[in-house]
C-alpha cells in the first residue's frame, strides 16, 4: 500500500485548484459539444443518428427534465451540461486516485497501472488508457457511477477528452495520496459558482445553496468533535483501551483522568451505534468516524481491518447531502478509506443518499414507474414522495417525511424501498429508467430522514434570513420559528 500523507500543503493545494478550474471549463465545453451533436437541445430528432444514439438522446432529455428543466431551454440544457461534465471528469479523476493507491482493479481481480491500461485499451475497445481506467473505476464503484447513467454513456470528442487527460496527467502524484484532497476537489469545483452567487446579491435557494453554504472542515475540528463523542463513549466503556491514549483532543476529567463525558444513554455494543452526517459534503466526518469505529471493532472483537471496516459500513454510518455530486465524492472517499486500510474487496454499499434532488419532473412520470404493480399503496407512496421532495434542492435535510408529507415512519419506508427497487429497472424504456432512479433515490433519502440516530455530527449550513429565498424562509418560519433567523439554527432544531 502507498504511504498516505495527512493534508495537502499550500503549493499542492494551489496546483489542484488551478487544475480543477481548468477541468471544469474544459469538461463543460466538451459535454456541451457532445450533447449538441446528439441534438439533445433540439425538439426535432437530428437526421443520421444511430439507433443507439437515438435511445441515448431520449434518456438525456429525460435526465434534463428530471433535473428540473426542459432540455429545449437554456436553463434545462445548462443543468444537463453541468451534470455530464461533472460525471465525465470525476470518473477519470477517481480512476487516477485508484491507480496511484494501487487500487485500480482489472475485471479479473488484479491491480493495473495506467501504463498497463494503455497497453490493454485496444483489446477492450477503448481509445486510450484513461478511458479504460475510467471504465474499470465505474465497474468497481457501481453504487457511485451508475453504469446506466446517460451522462456517462456520452462519448466526448477526442479533442475534449484529450484536454481533460492532459490536465489530469499534469497533477502531482502526492495529491492522490493526501487524505483531504477529495474535499478540496469539490470546494474548487464550486468556487466560481460561489463567487458568482455572492456577487449577484440575489436571494439564495436551490442550485445556489450548495455553492454558498458548503465549506471544507479542517481536520483538527473534525477530530476534536469525534474524539469527544465517539472517543469519549469508547473511553467510558473501555477506559484501559490502548486507543484512548491516542485521542489527542479528548477532554478528560481532571480528578479521574477519564473522559469528561460518560454518554450513559448510548448503547454498549458498537453494532447498535448509528451515526449520521446530514450535510456530509465530501465525507470528512464520515471518513474519520469510519477509522475510529473500525479500530474500535478491531480491538474489541479481534477482527482484521477489512472485516471491521465492512461492519462499520453496514451498521454504523449514514449520510445525507443536498448535492448529488457530494454524495458521490463521500461514497468514493469511504470506499477509498476502506480499501486503503483493508485492501481491495467488494464493499457493502455505503448508506448515503442525496436529499436535494427536486421532484419537479411530471408526477405522472413518477407514478408510471409503479403502475405495472397495480398497487394503490405504492402509487400513494410515490405521490407523497413527489410532494415531499418538491423543493428538496432548497430544503434538503430539513425535511421530515412523517411531518411534511405523511410518507410513513422508518419501519414502513424500507418495505416501500424494497418494492420500488424491484420494479424500477426501466424495462428497456430510457425515460422510465431515469425517472425510476429518481423515485428510488427519493425513497432512500426519505428512509434516512425518518430514522433516529445515536449521534448526529456535521458542519451545519449557515445562511442568514435576509439572504434566504422565500422557499427556505417560509419553511423555517413554519417549522422552526425560534430558529428562523439563520439556516444553521433551524438545522440544529431539525436535528
> What does the pLDDT look like over 12-54, one tens digit per residue?
999 999 999 999 999 999 999 999 999 999 988 888 899 999 9
Task: Give the model's pLDDT for residue 186.
Answer: 86
Averaged pLDDT of the chain: 86
- Cα separation, 24 vs 160, in Å, equals 12
- Cα separation, 381 vs 261, in Å, equals 42
**pLDDT tier at 425, thresholds 50, 70, 90:** very low
| Element containing residue 277 per DSSP (H, E) | strand 275-277
Q: Is the dihedral of CA 257, 263, 269, 272 positive or negative?
A: negative
Give the cell for residue 250: 479528548
- Cα separation, 110 vs 428, in Å, equals 33
Q: What is the DSSP string of 181-199?
A: HHHHHHHHHHHHHHHHHHH
Q: Are strands 275-277 and 317-321 parallel, antiparallel or unpaired?
A: parallel
Residue 127 confidence (pLDDT) above 50:
yes
Give the cell for residue 133: 481506467
**Residues β-bridged to residue 456:** 276
Q: pTM for the whole thing?
A: 0.88
**pLDDT tier at 459, thresholds 50, 70, 90:** very high
| CB proximity list for 330: less than 8 A, separation 6 or greater | 280, 281, 282, 283, 286, 319, 321, 350, 352
**Residues β-bridged to residue 321:** 354
Of all residues in the chain, the percent with pLDDT exceeding 90 is: 55
- Cα separation, 276 vs 283, in Å, equals 11
Q: Is the dihedral of CA 220, 221, 226, 231 positive or negative?
A: positive
| Range 301-311 average pLDDT | 96
Percent of the chain as helix, strand, coil, to the nearest 5: 60, 5, 35
Residue 366 confidence (pLDDT) above 70:
no
**Residues β-bridged to residue 317:** 275
Task: Give the model's pLDDT for residue 2.
Answer: 39
| CB proximity list for 242: less than 8 A, separation 6 or greater | 299
- Cα separation, 440 vs 81, in Å, equals 23
Taking a C-beta distance cutoff of 8 angstroms, is the pair 475, 398 a contact? yes
- Cα separation, 366 vs 375, in Å, equals 14
Q: How many CB atoms lie within 10 A of CB 258?
A: 15
Give the cell for residue 397: 435535510
Task: Give the model's pLDDT for residue 4.
Answer: 43
Task: Give the model's pLDDT for residue 180.
Answer: 86
**Residues β-bridged to residue 5:** 178
Residue 3 confidence (pLDDT) above 60:
no
Residue 68 confidence (pLDDT) above 80:
no
Task: Give the model's pLDDT for residue 81.
Answer: 95
Amino acid at each position: 500500500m502507498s504511504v498516505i500523507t495527512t493534508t495537502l500543503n499550500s503549493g499542492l493545494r494551489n496546483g489542484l485548484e488551478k487544475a480543477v478550474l481548468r477541468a471544469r471549463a474544459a469538461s463543460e465545453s466538451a459535454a456541451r459539444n457532445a450533447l449538441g451533436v446528439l441534438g439533445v437541445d433540439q425538439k426535432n430528432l437530428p437526421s443520421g443518428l444511430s439507433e443507439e444514439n437515438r435511445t441515448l438522446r431520449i434518456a438525456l432529455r429525460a435526465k434534463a427534465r428530471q433535473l428540473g428543466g426542459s432540455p429545449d431551454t437554456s436553463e434545462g440544457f445548462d443543468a444537463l451540461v453541468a451534470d455530464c461534465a461533472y460525471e465525465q471528469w470525476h470518473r477519470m479523476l477517481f480512476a487516477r486516485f485508484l491507480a496511484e493507491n494501487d487500487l485500480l482493479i482489472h475485471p479479473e481481480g488484479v491491480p493495473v497501472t495506467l501504463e498497463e491500461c494503455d497497453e490493454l485499451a485496444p483489446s477492450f475497445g477503448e481509445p486510450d488508457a484513461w478511458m479504460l481506467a475510467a471504465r474499470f473505476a465505474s465497474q468497481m464503484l457501481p453504487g457511485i457511477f451508475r453504469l446506466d447513467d446517460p451522462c456517462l454513456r456520452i462519448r466526448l470528442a477526442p479533442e475534449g477528452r484529450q484536454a481533460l487527460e492532459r490536465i489530469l496527467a499534469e497533477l502531482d502524484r502526492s495529491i492522490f495520496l493526501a487524505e483531504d484532497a477529495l474535499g478540496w476537489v469539490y470546494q474548487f469545483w464550486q468556487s466560481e459558482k460561489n463567487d458568482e452567487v455572492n456577487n449577484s446579491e440575489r436571494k439564495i435557494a436551490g442550485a445556489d445553496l450548495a455553492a454558498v453554504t458548503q465549506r471544507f472542515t479542517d481536520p483538527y475540528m473534525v477530530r476534536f468533535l469525534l474524539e469527544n463523542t465517539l472517543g469519549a463513549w469508547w473511553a467510558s466503556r473501555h477506559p484501559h483501551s490502548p486507543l484512548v491514549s491516542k485521542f489527542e483532543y479528548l477532554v478528560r476529567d481532571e480528578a479521574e483522568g477519564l473522559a469528561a463525558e460518560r454518554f450513559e444513554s448510548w448503547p454498549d455494543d458498537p453494532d447498535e451505534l448509528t451515526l449520521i452526517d446530514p450535510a456530509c459534503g465530501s465525507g470528512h466526518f464520515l471518513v474519520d468516524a469510519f477509522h475510529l469505529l473500525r479500530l474500535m471493532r478491531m480491538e474489541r472483537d479481534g477482527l482484521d481491518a477489512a472485516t471491521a471496516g465492512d461492519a462499520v459500513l453496514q451498521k454504523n454510518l449514514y449520510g445525507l447531502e443536498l448535492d448529488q455530486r457530494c454524495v458521490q465524492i463521500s461514497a468514493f472517499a469511504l470506499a477509498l478509506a476502506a480499501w486503503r486500510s483493508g485492501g481491495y474487496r467488494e464493499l457493502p454499499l455505503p448508506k448515503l443518499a442525496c436529499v436535494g434532488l427536486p421532484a419537479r419532473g411530471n408526477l405522472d412520470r413518477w407514478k408510471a414507474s409503479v403502475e405495472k404493480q397495480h398497487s394503490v399503496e405504492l402509487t400513494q407512496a410515490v405521490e407523497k414522495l413527489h410532494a415531499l421532495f418538491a423543493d428538496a434542492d432548497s430544503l434538503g435535510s430539513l425535511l421530515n417525511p412523517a411531518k411534511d408529507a405523511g410518507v410513513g415512519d422508518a419501519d414502513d419506508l424500507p418495505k416501500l424501498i424494497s418494492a420500488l427497487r424491484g420494479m424500477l429497472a426501466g424495462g428497456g424504456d430510457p425515460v422510465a429508467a431515469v425517472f425510476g432512479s429518481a423515485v428510488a433515490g427519493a425513497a432512500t433519502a426519505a428512509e434516512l430522514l425518518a430514522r433516529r440516530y445515536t449521534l448526529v455530527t456535521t458542519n451545519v449550513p449557515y445562511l442568514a434570513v435576509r439572504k434566504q429565498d422565500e422557499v427556505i424562509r417560509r419553511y423555517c418560519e413554519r417549522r422552526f420559528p425560534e430558529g428562523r433567523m439563520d439556516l444553521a439554527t433551524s438545522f440544529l432544531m431539525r436535528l
